Structure 1
Amino acid sequence: MAKKILIVDHNGLMTEVMSYILISNGYEVMTLDNAAQIFSSIRQNQPDLIILDAVLPGIDGIDVCRLLKWNKETQTLPVIICTDNDDTENYLKQEGAPNDVLHKPFGMNNLIETVEHQLAA
Protein backbone atom coordinates (compact mmCIF):
# COMPACT_ATOMS: atom_id res chain seq x y z
CA MET A 1 0.00 0.00 0.00
CA ALA A 2 1.33 3.42 -0.96
CA LYS A 3 2.49 5.79 1.77
CA LYS A 4 0.31 8.90 2.07
CA ILE A 5 1.80 12.37 2.01
CA LEU A 6 -0.06 15.58 2.82
CA ILE A 7 1.37 18.71 1.16
CA VAL A 8 0.33 22.05 2.67
CA ASP A 9 1.49 24.93 0.46
CA HIS A 10 -0.27 28.03 -0.88
CA ASN A 11 1.86 28.03 -4.04
CA GLY A 12 -0.16 26.02 -6.56
CA LEU A 13 2.76 25.45 -8.92
CA MET A 14 4.99 24.19 -6.11
CA THR A 15 2.22 21.86 -4.93
CA GLU A 16 1.71 20.54 -8.48
CA VAL A 17 5.41 19.87 -8.98
CA MET A 18 5.87 18.13 -5.62
CA SER A 19 2.69 16.10 -6.17
CA TYR A 20 3.85 14.98 -9.61
CA ILE A 21 7.27 13.92 -8.30
CA LEU A 22 5.84 12.06 -5.33
CA ILE A 23 3.06 10.33 -7.29
CA SER A 24 5.63 9.32 -9.93
CA ASN A 25 7.59 7.68 -7.13
CA GLY A 26 4.65 5.65 -5.86
CA TYR A 27 3.25 7.88 -3.11
CA GLU A 28 -0.37 8.84 -2.58
CA VAL A 29 -0.63 12.63 -2.28
CA MET A 30 -3.23 14.92 -0.71
CA THR A 31 -2.92 18.71 -0.84
CA LEU A 32 -4.12 21.76 1.05
CA ASP A 33 -3.46 25.39 0.11
CA ASN A 34 -3.69 26.62 3.72
CA ALA A 35 -3.50 25.22 7.24
CA ALA A 36 -7.13 25.85 8.23
CA GLN A 37 -8.23 22.28 7.50
CA ILE A 38 -5.01 20.46 8.40
CA PHE A 39 -6.28 18.62 11.48
CA SER A 40 -9.51 17.48 9.82
CA SER A 41 -7.53 16.36 6.76
CA ILE A 42 -5.15 14.40 8.98
CA ARG A 43 -8.04 12.69 10.77
CA GLN A 44 -9.80 11.88 7.51
CA ASN A 45 -6.79 10.83 5.38
CA GLN A 46 -4.27 9.64 8.00
CA PRO A 47 -1.11 10.68 6.13
CA ASP A 48 2.24 9.05 6.88
CA LEU A 49 4.12 12.35 6.44
CA ILE A 50 3.42 16.07 6.04
CA ILE A 51 5.30 18.50 3.81
CA LEU A 52 4.56 21.98 5.14
CA ASP A 53 5.51 25.33 3.65
CA ALA A 54 7.13 27.68 6.16
CA VAL A 55 4.99 30.59 4.95
CA LEU A 56 1.24 30.03 4.81
CA PRO A 57 -1.71 32.44 4.58
CA GLY A 58 -2.84 33.49 8.04
CA ILE A 59 -0.35 31.42 10.05
CA ASP A 60 3.34 30.67 10.02
CA GLY A 61 4.20 27.11 8.95
CA ILE A 62 6.51 26.78 11.94
CA ASP A 63 3.57 27.55 14.24
CA VAL A 64 1.52 24.87 12.48
CA CYS A 65 4.41 22.44 12.97
CA ARG A 66 4.48 23.25 16.69
CA LEU A 67 0.74 22.61 16.96
CA LEU A 68 1.20 19.25 15.24
CA LYS A 69 4.12 18.27 17.49
CA TRP A 70 2.29 19.33 20.68
CA ASN A 71 -0.91 17.45 19.78
CA LYS A 72 -0.99 13.85 21.05
CA GLU A 73 -2.79 12.67 17.90
CA THR A 74 -0.13 14.06 15.55
CA GLN A 75 3.08 14.40 17.57
CA THR A 76 4.76 11.35 15.99
CA LEU A 77 3.80 12.31 12.43
CA PRO A 78 6.95 13.31 10.49
CA VAL A 79 6.88 16.92 9.29
CA ILE A 80 9.17 18.37 6.63
CA ILE A 81 9.27 22.17 6.40
CA CYS A 82 9.94 23.81 3.01
CA THR A 83 11.65 27.17 3.20
CA ASP A 84 13.85 29.59 1.30
CA ASN A 85 15.54 30.52 4.59
CA ASP A 86 18.98 28.92 5.00
CA ASP A 87 18.83 28.81 8.81
CA THR A 88 18.20 25.04 9.17
CA GLU A 89 19.77 24.83 12.63
CA ASN A 90 17.36 27.48 13.92
CA TYR A 91 14.36 25.52 12.62
CA LEU A 92 15.56 22.20 14.02
CA LYS A 93 16.45 23.58 17.48
CA GLN A 94 13.05 25.13 18.15
CA GLU A 95 10.53 23.53 20.45
CA GLY A 96 8.05 21.61 18.31
CA ALA A 97 10.62 21.48 15.52
CA PRO A 98 10.06 19.77 12.18
CA ASN A 99 11.75 16.45 11.52
CA ASP A 100 13.60 17.88 8.53
CA VAL A 101 13.94 20.97 6.35
CA LEU A 102 13.94 21.26 2.55
CA HIS A 103 15.50 24.43 1.15
CA LYS A 104 13.87 26.02 -1.88
CA PRO A 105 14.66 25.58 -4.64
CA PHE A 106 15.22 21.85 -4.20
CA GLY A 107 15.61 19.12 -6.77
CA MET A 108 13.55 16.01 -7.34
CA ASN A 109 16.21 13.75 -5.80
CA ASN A 110 16.47 15.93 -2.70
CA LEU A 111 12.69 15.77 -2.20
CA ILE A 112 12.53 11.99 -2.61
CA GLU A 113 15.60 11.35 -0.43
CA THR A 114 14.23 13.54 2.38
CA VAL A 115 10.80 11.89 2.23
CA GLU A 116 12.29 8.38 2.16
CA HIS A 117 14.60 9.20 5.07
CA GLN A 118 11.73 10.47 7.23
CA LEU A 119 9.43 7.58 6.37
CA ALA A 120 12.18 5.10 7.27
CA ALA A 121 12.94 6.80 10.61
Structure 2
Amino acid sequence: METNKLAVAKKILVVDDEPDIRDIIMYVLESEGYQVCGLDNGRAVLDTVQQIQPDIVLLDVQLGDRDGRDICRELKAQPATQHIPIIMISANQSWPTLREKQCNPDDFLAKPFDLSELVDHVKRFAA
Protein backbone atom coordinates (compact mmCIF):
# COMPACT_ATOMS: atom_id res chain seq x y z
CA MET A 1 0.00 0.00 0.00
CA GLU A 2 1.17 3.50 -0.78
CA THR A 3 1.92 5.63 2.26
CA ASN A 4 -0.40 8.57 2.73
CA LYS A 5 1.93 11.48 3.62
CA LEU A 6 -1.02 13.59 4.80
CA ALA A 7 -1.83 10.99 7.43
CA VAL A 8 1.43 11.35 9.37
CA ALA A 9 0.00 13.67 12.01
CA LYS A 10 -3.35 11.87 12.32
CA LYS A 11 -3.83 9.72 15.43
CA ILE A 12 -6.20 6.77 15.38
CA LEU A 13 -7.43 4.77 18.37
CA VAL A 14 -8.38 1.18 17.51
CA VAL A 15 -10.56 -0.59 20.10
CA ASP A 16 -11.18 -4.30 19.49
CA ASP A 17 -10.96 -7.17 21.97
CA GLU A 18 -9.88 -9.65 19.28
CA PRO A 19 -6.07 -9.33 19.10
CA ASP A 20 -5.70 -10.62 15.54
CA ILE A 21 -8.24 -8.14 14.16
CA ARG A 22 -6.83 -5.26 16.20
CA ASP A 23 -3.26 -6.06 15.15
CA ILE A 24 -4.15 -6.27 11.46
CA ILE A 25 -6.06 -2.98 11.57
CA MET A 26 -3.18 -1.30 13.39
CA TYR A 27 -0.58 -2.69 10.98
CA VAL A 28 -2.51 -1.55 7.90
CA LEU A 29 -3.13 1.95 9.28
CA GLU A 30 0.49 2.32 10.44
CA SER A 31 1.66 1.32 6.96
CA GLU A 32 -0.51 4.17 5.63
CA GLY A 33 1.40 6.62 7.86
CA TYR A 34 -1.08 7.04 10.70
CA GLN A 35 -0.11 7.10 14.38
CA VAL A 36 -2.07 4.21 15.87
CA CYS A 37 -2.87 3.21 19.44
CA GLY A 38 -4.76 0.03 20.28
CA LEU A 39 -6.93 -1.05 23.19
CA ASP A 40 -8.31 -4.51 23.91
CA ASN A 41 -11.13 -3.40 26.20
CA GLY A 42 -13.73 -0.70 26.66
CA ARG A 43 -12.83 0.31 30.22
CA ALA A 44 -9.91 2.48 29.18
CA VAL A 45 -11.43 4.17 26.12
CA LEU A 46 -12.62 7.41 27.71
CA ASP A 47 -9.34 7.99 29.60
CA THR A 48 -7.25 7.08 26.55
CA VAL A 49 -9.23 9.42 24.30
CA GLN A 50 -8.64 12.26 26.75
CA GLN A 51 -4.92 11.40 26.98
CA ILE A 52 -4.00 10.95 23.33
CA GLN A 53 -6.76 13.04 21.71
CA PRO A 54 -7.15 10.85 18.61
CA ASP A 55 -8.40 12.24 15.33
CA ILE A 56 -10.47 9.10 14.68
CA VAL A 57 -11.73 6.20 16.82
CA LEU A 58 -12.32 2.74 15.34
CA LEU A 59 -14.59 1.01 17.84
CA ASP A 60 -15.87 -2.56 17.89
CA VAL A 61 -19.53 -2.85 18.88
CA GLN A 62 -19.16 -5.98 20.99
CA LEU A 63 -16.27 -5.74 23.40
CA GLY A 64 -15.81 -8.29 26.16
CA ASP A 65 -16.26 -5.84 29.00
CA ARG A 66 -18.42 -3.02 27.56
CA ASP A 67 -20.86 -2.37 24.77
CA GLY A 68 -19.22 -0.19 22.11
CA ARG A 69 -22.55 1.55 21.51
CA ASP A 70 -22.50 2.85 25.10
CA ILE A 71 -18.93 4.08 24.64
CA CYS A 72 -19.91 5.81 21.40
CA ARG A 73 -22.86 7.52 23.14
CA GLU A 74 -20.58 8.68 25.98
CA LEU A 75 -17.98 10.11 23.59
CA LYS A 76 -20.64 11.88 21.51
CA ALA A 77 -22.25 13.34 24.68
CA GLN A 78 -19.07 15.03 25.95
CA PRO A 79 -18.21 18.44 24.47
CA ALA A 80 -14.48 17.61 24.55
CA THR A 81 -14.91 14.43 22.46
CA GLN A 82 -18.13 14.84 20.46
CA HIS A 83 -16.22 16.12 17.40
CA ILE A 84 -14.07 12.97 17.07
CA PRO A 85 -15.27 10.76 14.21
CA ILE A 86 -16.18 7.27 15.38
CA ILE A 87 -16.18 4.38 12.93
CA MET A 88 -17.96 1.40 14.48
CA ILE A 89 -17.06 -2.11 13.34
CA SER A 90 -19.10 -5.26 13.91
CA ALA A 91 -19.92 -8.68 12.53
CA ASN A 92 -23.31 -8.78 14.26
CA GLN A 93 -24.73 -5.28 13.87
CA SER A 94 -25.76 -3.14 10.94
CA TRP A 95 -25.71 0.57 10.24
CA PRO A 96 -29.52 0.92 10.64
CA THR A 97 -29.40 -1.02 13.93
CA LEU A 98 -26.73 1.32 15.30
CA ARG A 99 -28.78 4.36 14.33
CA GLU A 100 -31.85 2.82 16.02
CA LYS A 101 -29.79 2.37 19.19
CA GLN A 102 -29.04 6.11 19.02
CA CYS A 103 -25.30 5.80 19.49
CA ASN A 104 -24.72 8.01 16.40
CA PRO A 105 -21.41 6.78 15.01
CA ASP A 106 -20.03 8.71 12.07
CA ASP A 107 -19.48 5.59 9.98
CA PHE A 108 -19.79 1.80 10.04
CA LEU A 109 -17.82 -1.15 8.70
CA ALA A 110 -19.26 -4.67 8.69
CA LYS A 111 -16.86 -7.50 9.53
CA PRO A 112 -15.31 -9.07 7.61
CA PHE A 113 -14.23 -6.04 5.63
CA ASP A 114 -11.67 -5.57 2.90
CA LEU A 115 -8.55 -3.78 4.17
CA SER A 116 -8.68 -1.27 1.32
CA GLU A 117 -12.26 -0.50 2.38
CA LEU A 118 -11.00 0.16 5.91
CA VAL A 119 -8.35 2.56 4.59
CA ASP A 120 -10.92 4.34 2.42
CA HIS A 121 -13.23 4.89 5.40
CA VAL A 122 -10.38 6.23 7.53
CA LYS A 123 -9.10 8.52 4.78
CA ARG A 124 -12.55 10.07 4.48
CA PHE A 125 -12.28 11.35 8.06
CA ALA A 126 -8.54 12.03 8.04
CA ALA A 127 -8.76 14.59 5.25
TM-score normalised per structure 2:
0.88
1:8-27 correspondence to structure 2 within 5 Å: 8-27=15-34
Q: CA RMSD in A?
A: 1.3
* Equivalent pairs, count: 120
Q: Please tell me whether the aligned partners of residues 2 and 27 of structure 1 are also in contact (alpha carbons under 8 angstroms).
A: yes
Offset, 1:46 = 1.1
Aligned residue for 2:79, secondary structure, equals: coil
Runs of 5+ unmatched residues, structure 2: 1-7
Q: Please tell me whether the aligned partners of residues 9 and 53 of structure 1 are also in contact (alpha carbons under 8 angstroms).
A: yes
Structure-1 separation of matches of 2:110 and 2:87: 10
1:11-55: CA deviation from partner (whole Å, max 9, x where unpaired): 000011000100000100001111111122112111100000000
1:1-121 correspondence to structure 2 within 5 Å: 1-85=8-92, 87-120=94-127
Structure-1 separation of matches of 2:125 and 2:19: 24
Offset, 1:94 = 4.0
Aligned residue for 1:105, secondary structure, equals: coil
Q: Please tell me whether the aligned partners of residues 48 and 78 of structure 1 are also in contact (alpha carbons under 8 angstroms).
A: yes
What is the letter of the counterpart of residue 114 of structure 2?
A: G
4+ aligned runs moved over 3 Å, structure 1 = none
Of all paired residues, the percent bearing the same amino acid is 37
Structure-2 separation of matches of 1:22 and 1:14: 12
What is the letter of the counterpart of residue 56 of structure 1?
A: L
1:40-72: CA deviation from partner (whole Å, max 9, x where unpaired): 211211110000000012211111101111111
Which is richer in strand?
Answer: 1
Structure-2 separation of matches of 1:96 and 1:77: 14
- Classify 1:29/1:95 alpha carbon distance in 2 versus 1 (closer, same or farther; 3 Å): same
Aligned residue for 2:29, secondary structure, equals: helix
